[in-house]
Amino acid sequence: MHYRALGHTGLEVSVLSFGASSLGGVFHATDDDESIRTVRTALDLGVNFLDTSPYYGATRSESVLGRALRGVPRESYILATKVGQYNNGEFDFSAARVTRSLDESCARLGTDYIDLLQCHDIEFTDLNQIVDETLPALVKLREAGRIGHIGITGLPLKIFSGVLDRTAPGVVETILSFCRYELNDTALDSLVPYLREKKVGIINASPTGMGLLTPRGVPSWHPAPPAMVAGARRAVEYCQSVGADIVKLALQFCVVHPAFATTLVGTANPETIRENVAHIEAPLDFALMAKVLEILRPIHNHNFTRGRPENRDPIIA
Ligand code: NAD
């Protein structure tokens, strides 16, 4: 496993990291004991960055992750969770709620300290509230030593500058972007110089596009329009036809980008995390990569967006 600096946080994170949304059963039914073995396997393989949220599986992801981490030395892993989004699409970024949320997450995760606390999917709220109320509350928690670092997450790329342009340097230390840098979409790349200038670390999530680039395909709630799903399917089927694994290619494509500190991939299966770590350590098949990128060209950077109208990215379809 290789490690990279997460922006200017001082944290060194594994280039492949563990996304725990799958532990909440958000993709398909999962077995908690198997989920726990998956986390332990990830740690054994050198994965040291774990990301969750109270939203995933309505707190189940955090609870299962907490059970998995029982007895594991706290300093051996970097724990990230989030505030502001809860079950049933409920959002509350008020200072009081995010402060209470930290305590609740800590109780479920069996710790009194979170390394990285992130505002979860800020496109669904008024960014003025994030800037004027939520982030100042998180800064107080950071000053009090309850959290190490502060981040923001979401789907539309415009939300990142929407917040970073209006906050003092050092307030927001990381962004987590998802589904905007994967085999079929490289839009996040255009933000790299800006984020570097802002001294903000980049976490790239969902290298398979939340299942788009997997043999299993997308879950029913997936927001991609049918043409995009069909376009991705063609690449999946091509890989199957030549006996190649599209997930391997998808992970390699993300992990080699030197500006992304880490790529978060989700699974609740110990064998799958083992496979994924092996994938990123295997040599890249450049001819296959070129062929798959060519198949995906018709849907390159096609996207979906969400959130408040003022926070949405323009749609390319
Ligand atoms: P992902 O691209 O990692 O896809 C996960 C899906 O891919 C699951 O169905 C999993 O079973 C499957 N998969 C993984 N490895 C596989 C393999 N080798 N073969 C076949 N299938 C495989 O998307 P994700 O789980 O949504 O994203 C990863 C993590 O990133 C999340 O768990 C979460 O921690 C984080 N994330 C955060 C946000 C946010 O903060 N707004 C959004 C998206 C993701």
What is the three-class DSSP state of 83?
Answer: strand
Rounded Cα–Cα distance for residues 210 and 214 (Å) = 9
Is 317 among the domain residues? no
Out of 267, 281, 304, mutate this one to test ligand 1's pocket (max ligand atoms within 8 Å of CB): namely: 267
Ligand 1 neighbourhood includes 114 CB (under 6 angstroms):
no
Please report the pLDDT score of residue 99 as a whole number: 98
Ligand 1 neighbourhood includes 81 CB (under 6 angstroms):
no
Out of 122, 202, 214, 277, mutate this one to test ligand 1's pocket (max ligand atoms within 8 Å of CB): namely: 214
Ligand 1 neighbourhood includes 123 CB (under 6 angstroms):
no
Which runs of consecutive H residues, i.e. helices, occur in the chain? 32-44, 60-69, 95-109, 127-129, 135-143, 158-164, 192-197, 226-241, 246-255, 270-281, 286-296
Please report the pLDDT score of residue 89 as a whole number: 81
Ligand 1 center–CA 173 separation, angstroms: 23
DSSP string of 150-195, one letter each residue: EEEEESSTHHHHHHHTTS-TTS--EEEEESSSBTTB-GGGGGHHHH
Please report the pLDDT score of residue 26 as a whole number: 81
Is 306 among the domain residues? yes
Q: Is the pTM of this model over 0.95?
A: yes
Is 12 among the domain residues? yes
Number of structural domains the chain divides into: 1
CB 133 within 8 A of CB 95: yes
pLDDT in tens, 113-155: 999 999 999 999 999 999 999 999 999 999 999 999 999 999 9
**Atom 31, ligand 1: which residue's CA is nearest?**
19
Is 191 among the domain residues? yes
Is 303 among the domain residues? yes
Ligand 1 center–CA 260 separation, angstroms: 16
Ligand 1 center–CA 201 separation, angstroms: 20
Please report the pLDDT score of residue 181 as a whole number: 98
CB 184 within 8 A of CB 208: no
- Total Cβ atoms within 10 A of residue 73: 7
Rounded Cα–Cα distance for residues 264 and 262 (Å) = 6
Please report the pLDDT score of residue 317 as a whole number: 86
Which runs of consecutive H residues, i.e. helices, occur in 192-225? 192-197
Ligand 1 neighbourhood includes 264 CB (under 6 angstroms):
yes
pLDDT in tens, 44-56: 999 999 999 999 9
Q: At 115, which CATH number?
A: 3.20.20.100
**Atom 40, ligand 1: which residue's CA is nearest?**
153
Is 316 among the domain residues? no
Does the annotation count 56 as an active-site position?
yes
- As beta bridge partners, residue 153 has 176
Is 68 among the domain residues? yes
Please report the pLDDT score of residue 114 as a whole number: 98
Out of 22, 248, 262, mutate this one to test ligand 1's pocket (max ligand atoms within 8 Å of CB): namely: 22
Residue spans of the chain under pLDDT 50: none
Range of the domain at 74: 3-311
Please report the pLDDT score of residue 28 as a whole number: 83
Ligand 1 center–CA 48 separation, angstroms: 17
Catalytic residue among 3, 55, 56, 113: 56
* Atom nearest to 208 CA in ligand 1: 2
pLDDT in tens, 66-91: 999 999 999 999 999 999 999 878 99
Is 268 among the domain residues? yes
